[in-house]
Amino acid sequence: MHHDPSRPGRWAHAPLSRRRFVQGLALGGVALGTAGWRLPAFAAETDARSGPQVLRGTEFDLSIGASPVNFTGRTRPAITVNGSLPAPILRWREGDTVTLRVANRMPDAITSLHWHGILLPADMDGAPGLSFNGIHPGETFVYRFQLRQSGTYWYHSHSLFQEQAGLYGALIVDPIEPLPYAYDREHVVLLSDWTDLDPGRLFRRLKQYSEYDNYYKPTVGDFIRDVRQQGWAATVADRRAWGRMRMTPTDISDVNAHTYTYLMNGTAPAGNWTGLFRSGEKVLLRFINGSAMTYFDVRIPGLKMTVVAADGQPIHPVSVDEFRIAVAETFDVIVEPSGQDAYTIFAQDMGRTGHARGTLAVRAGLEAPVPAADPRPLLTMDDMGHGGHAGHGGGAAAAEGGCGAAMGMEGGCGASMGHGAHAGHGGAGGMQAHPASETRNPLVDMQTMTPAPRLDDPGIGLRGNGRRVLTYADMRSVAGDEDGRDPGRELELHLTGHMEKFSWSFDGIPFSGAEPLRLNYGERMRIVLVNDTMMTHPIHLHGMWSDVEDADGRFMVRKHTVDMPPGTRRGFRVRADAVGRWAFHCHLLYHMEAGMMREVRVEA
């Protein structure tokens, strides 16, 4: 029995109690012994509390098929690798050549595996439609490439919505040379989001009613409270500004725990995934955000975390209480638990609607208290690059007027200011210039006018919370800038969208109508991203590193995924050292599918 999640109408949605939806079942994971399903024998060998199995070596046989899972009280079909959700942890070694025979056992769906953050030839990258045709039903595709890096990465499908349906797993590359940090034990902590809905149906729901999960719109009571605190004029001005954008300050994420159950290593919160430790050990935790749409804020109450690597690459150690991990990012942290037998690993979603959780413990079966969710954050005009709040991007544009609010359906601010193509760091009066393709564009519902890098900003919902929170400004690559050249040219791209239409794009041009971005082989260039939307976007360039710069254009940290909060302008350097056709996209799965993607061609 097989199910194709890309085909509509195959998975029905049944309402569940709020508690069951958020916490999930204690069992979680692959549902064993379900009538009508034949599972491989090894599926029963994986304890839900210990996570997926580990496969090591240089030769791998991976079978992509369908398996039943149960996270909410209902058995649903998932797409799995070797019957496992998440897929098995793959353990490789730097310098080795790995061979992966990937068989598609689904009868009516093309599939793929993309090795996220791994440097390899374009035809091995696994993005269908570019340098690869996908793996058709009944076919086996052989991936083979040499490993030129080490660290914590992950792999996932790049076909339709299969990643949301369970097709993702952790990927660890052990180094040849000793790391600049030591540890006694390690655990993978793979975070993800699960929905009982057919992912294709969820996408159609977003297109038809993008605010379905936004339960927290401002009320009359909120209006009265704001009038008391801010005065009538300021409150009315604020409501008008949001009204012009057809948005609310509670639009933190498109999909949240009203739809999702959050998983840690494939285990729902009630299942209590557990990683063991001995008191006094240094424990390396390899955090991976393998979710489709969810940003997580992670902390371990009672423990400091020392961040030692970002996106697989060592950084100078940073001691923090908490970090935000964007979709597709990875962070390695070292903790030294002692003095108590159990600690909760707590990962709440950015909108504070739910959480994933697990436990570090001296033995299985122990638990520690689970923190209450933090207060729900509210966006401000300043968060979106429209305000005048000192310290977070400041601004010449007031929330009430013209350019400071939003670009309307007829082009509004961008049109009236007459900005044409990309222009450095702004236009008239220090305002941000915008590409002509955004002007009077029915797929663009707002523009930022005073963006800033905000590299030292922990992010909405994390400011002033009494905890030391990791920021991009904290991260410095140990290796430094391995290229060393100044960029020879600069390309500016704007992240654009229309909330009501759930349309997402670069420069107002969805992927289907966009020309490829062309890079010359060997060149060093700078890509500048400007987020014109009110959403946070993790931007991923396949095949090459993205070397993030500070506000003055100096190299800071090497990454494969660059987080772009609302109202930010951030630059990163790229060395075009990989010939071929590559994907460049927002890693929010439904944003990519809705158009926020480009092809990058590196040509000799």
In a domain, 266, yes or no: no
In a domain, 466, yes or no: no
In a domain, 132, yes or no: yes
pLDDT reading at 401 higher than 60: no
CA distance 294 to 356: 11
Q: Which domain holds residue 550?
A: 380-459+480-604
Look at strands 342-349 and 313-320 and give their pairing. unpaired
Which amino acid is residue 60, in one-letter code? F
Which of 403-417, 488-502, 586-600 is predicted with the least confidence, judged by mean pLDDT?
403-417
CA distance 211 to 502: 10
Mean pLDDT of 188-216: 89
**Angle 220-230/232-244 helices, nearest 10 degrees?**
130
pLDDT reading at 350 higher than 60: yes
Q: Residue 275: what pLDDT?
A: 97
Tell me the pLDDT band of 210, cut-offs 50, 70 and 90. confident
Which amino acid is residue 417, in one-letter code? M
List Cα–Cα distances, 562 to 294, 346, 384, 550, in angstroms: 15, 23, 18, 13
Rg (CA), the chain: 23
Look at strands 168-174 and 87-93 and give their pairing. parallel
Q: Residue 253: what pLDDT?
A: 84
| Domain final residue, candidates 155, 180, 205 | 180
CA distance 202 to 173: 34
In a domain, 203, yes or no: no
Q: What is the pTM of this model?
A: 0.85
Which amino acid is residue 432, in one-letter code? Q
Tell me the pLDDT band of 391, cut-offs 50, 70 and 90. very low
CA distance 576 to 572: 13
- Helix ranges (H only) for 65-106 are none
Q: Residue 216: what pLDDT?
A: 57
In a domain, 471, yes or no: no
Cis peptide before 180 (omega within 30 of 0): no
Tell me the pLDDT band of 51, cut-offs 50, 70 and 90. confident
pLDDT reading at 246 higher than 90: no
In a domain, 283, yes or no: no
Read off the CATH number of the domain in which 107 is found: 2.60.40.420
Handedness of CA 262, 266, 268, 274 (dihedral sign): negative
Sheet containing 330-335: give its strands across: 261-264, 185-194, 283-289, 330-335, 305-310, 313-320
In a domain, 372, yes or no: no
Q: Per the structure, how many domains does the chain have? A: 2
In a domain, 105, yes or no: yes
Check residues 403 and 311 and name the one with the higher pLDDT: 311
Question: Which candidate, 384, 386, 396, 492, places its Cα nearest to that of 437?
Answer: 492
Handedness of CA 104, 578, 292, 323 (dihedral sign): positive
Q: Residue 379: what pLDDT?
A: 78
| Domain final residue, candidates 164, 180, 196 | 180
CA distance 463 to 209: 31
The 8 Å CB, 24+ separation contacts for 104-107 are 104/64, 104/135, 104/136, 104/137, 104/138, 104/139, 104/140, 104/141, 105/2, 105/63, 105/64, 105/65, 105/66, 106/2, 106/4, 106/64, 106/65, 106/66, 106/79, 106/137, 107/2, 107/4, 107/137, 107/138
If DSSP codes are grouped into helix, strand and coil, which group holds residue 15? coil
pLDDT digits (tens, 9 = 90+) for 87-133: 999 999 999 999 999 999 999 999 999 999 999 999 999 999 999 99
| Domain final residue, candidates 180, 215, 231 | 180
